[in-house]
A and B are shown apart, each in its own frame.
Chain A
């Protein structure tokens, strides 16, 4: 059974391999100096401490939204609300961060807690609508993203905007609220530790607690779970609360760690990326680390590529969707698995 156990992993690696080949093909077709462009894309993220720091910085929000989406997808709840919540909670955290008079320990905690709670409260609305009346959570959560963007921009422009700043952005976040840097020479902040703790907690929650068990059961087969006495409506509500909280904390940490002022004037995209991270990780919190880092690595590679060569960073969107399509394709490489199963059976029989 050795090989079969690793089938999923091998399959994921095969998808990544195909995706990388495809990016090479794209570069070869477009770039005037394909070899140089490929070098930049693949190696530049490792070329210096600050570049590698970028990879870690981008992986932090991806891990947050990756956990949030994993929890929902594990339940087969196709809710993409992490996008809007990430944005809006970031704004809430900034609003708290702007205030004066808290010390450097309480201030970031208060700001992150505010963002997390607001995220949970927003997230539970589509959850309740789903649990009570079976309203399609995908559509409601996507509508919420657009609503949150509109309301958020209104708050930014009418209440938090610093008129003396050159661009649309809030007042400066107080130094007491800014998250501490932990790796010299980079902008990697304490949020890295926070997110790793969250991942450990999510793992324990999912696999070691009763609630986590109920969640997994409901995701596997809602009717069966209902018959065996699990109140699946309640599970749907608390998984939305948790997912919203995690996404909210993620948005808050991102703003306090990376942004001197709140300056998002469009949805930042981390929520949708979270769906990709979750898919790559097969909705497993521990695997979210690896998939977030991989995604962050090709992101930074693409950014370096658009900075130092003639291929635009949007190439990555094409690559990512191919990854998403193949990773979720059940039949991809299935023939190979079947052949292995057959061999195994023949050997044993």
Chain B
């Protein structure tokens, strides 16, 4: 047990929480935007995976990490635009559409990787680039704070900024107001002249953009290559985070950090002599528990309201 606390109370551990929260936070922000527009984007997992691969491929072929990042973002937006096309125009059920996107990404990335490199499973033969870590001058020197806050990956900082940005977008801009109006009651929104479908397109593509940043982090920050199914359920955890965060930017960010903490804990506990198979389930169990507590309280509130 002493060893356990020795691991938890270190700057390394605090540092790692930010690191593992990054992809979850990005995807959760994506979930937030589309949910507020009334669309449950189940395809986040697949969008992240596709972006993780496009980032690696484009950075390897152009030799530029920035081009890779842009490619990943475009890839993510493209996939979510396709999802939007099917759900908004062809009326595919959004849940099934999302499942299809995930299946497509899981097999399609392996397929594309094989066709381009002859490798299945990992992109280790590609010389793909990584996005850099940032060291913040001055703060870097502050004891305790410095080793935690400075030296994080550039996308980790961006994820915090993105959370602020989404808060601002939803609560302080006309577009955010429209998104919320469409999600709240599409018919009422339409009656005051909001183009519902257009807003939903924008929300879904933005959702894809955020998820793609999470994907780019996975293959150009968290790891330095693409491996098959590397997102490992983070898109789903993000959906739970959004749902538990009550559809607000602040709540979603906080629950993302909670799940990030669980994941960091699982990583850290691998140093102890607890079977790794069981430890790997910690983030998922936390997610289920969180969702249950949230739903329980929601249901009680509803009953009281009646």
Q: Name the A residues within 8 Å of B296 (CB-CB).
A: 133
Interface residue total, chain A, C-beta cutoff 8 A: 43
Q: In whole angstroms, what is the CA distance A103 to B101 when docked?
A: 47
User: Are B291 and A330 in touch, CB under 8 angstroms?
Assistant: no
Q: In whole angstroms, what is the CA distance A186 to B291 when docked?
A: 47
User: Are B92 and A325 in touch, CB under 8 angstroms?
Assistant: yes
User: Are A133 and B107 in touch, CB under 8 angstroms?
Assistant: no
Q: Name the B residues within 8 Å of A102 (CB-CB).
A: none
User: Are A134 and B298 in touch, CB under 8 angstroms?
Assistant: yes
Q: Name the B residues within 8 Å of A230 (CB-CB).
A: none
- From A132, A316, A317, A329, give the contact of B86 (CB < 8 A): A329
Q: Name the A residues within 8 Å of B86 (CB-CB).
A: 325, 329
Q: Which residue of A lies closest to B87 (CB)?
A: A329
User: Are A143 and B236 in touch, CB under 8 angstroms?
Assistant: yes
Residues A147 and B281 in contact in the complex (CB < 8 Å), given A134-B299, A321-B100, A328-B93: yes
- From A132, A135, A158, A272, give the contact of B103 (CB < 8 A): A272
User: Are A146 and B284 in touch, CB under 8 angstroms?
Assistant: yes
Q: Name the A residues within 8 Å of B284 (CB-CB).
A: 143-144, 146-147, 150
Residues A317 and B281 in contact in the complex (CB < 8 Å), given A136-B291, A312-B120, A328-B92: no
User: Are B90 and A143 in touch, CB under 8 angstroms?
Assistant: no
Question: Shortest distance in angstroms between B203's beta carbon and chain A's nearest beta carbon?
Answer: 19
The reply to whether the CB of A332 lies closer than 8 angstroms to some CB of chain B is: yes
The reply to whether the CB of B271 lies closer than 8 angstroms to some CB of chain A is: no
- From A133, A279, A332, give the contact of B292 (CB < 8 A): A133
Residues A150 and B291 in contact in the complex (CB < 8 Å), given A132-B299, A317-B104, A328-B97: no
Question: Shortest distance in angstroms between A185's beta carbon and chain B's nearest beta carbon?
Answer: 31
The reply to whether the CB of B142 lies closer than 8 angstroms to some CB of chain A is: no
Residues A279 and B96 in contact in the complex (CB < 8 Å), given A146-B284, A315-B111: yes
Hey, what's the 0/1 contact readout for B65-103 against A, CB within 8 Å counting as 1? 000000000000000000000100111110111011101
Q: 8 Å CB contacts to A: which residues of B10-68? A: 42
Question: Shortest distance in angstroms between B301's beta carbon and chain A's nearest beta carbon?
Answer: 11
- From B100, B237, B278, B295, give the contact of A151 (CB < 8 A): B278
Q: Name the B residues within 8 Å of A150 (CB-CB).
A: 277-281, 284
Hey, what's the 0/1 contact readout for A235-247 against B, CB within 8 Å counting as 1? 0000000000000
Question: Shortest distance in angstroms between B303's beta carbon and chain A's nearest beta carbon?
Answer: 10
Q: In whole angstroms, what is the CA distance A140 to B239 when docked?
A: 11
Q: In whole angstroms, what is the CA distance A278 to B65 when docked?
A: 42
User: Are A317 and B99 in touch, CB under 8 angstroms?
Assistant: no
Q: Which residue of A lies closest to B237 (CB)?
A: A143
User: Are A142 and B281 in touch, CB under 8 angstroms?
Assistant: no
Q: In whole angstroms, what is the CA distance A86 to B243 when docked?
A: 27
User: Are B103 and A317 in touch, CB under 8 angstroms?
Assistant: yes
Question: Shortest distance in angstroms between A147's beta carbon and chain B's nearest beta carbon?
Answer: 5
List chain B positions with a Cβ less than 8 A from chain A. Answer: 42, 86, 89-93, 95-97, 99-101, 103-104, 106-108, 110-111, 114-115, 120, 233, 236-237, 239-240, 243, 275, 277-281, 284-285, 287-288, 291-292, 294-296, 298-299
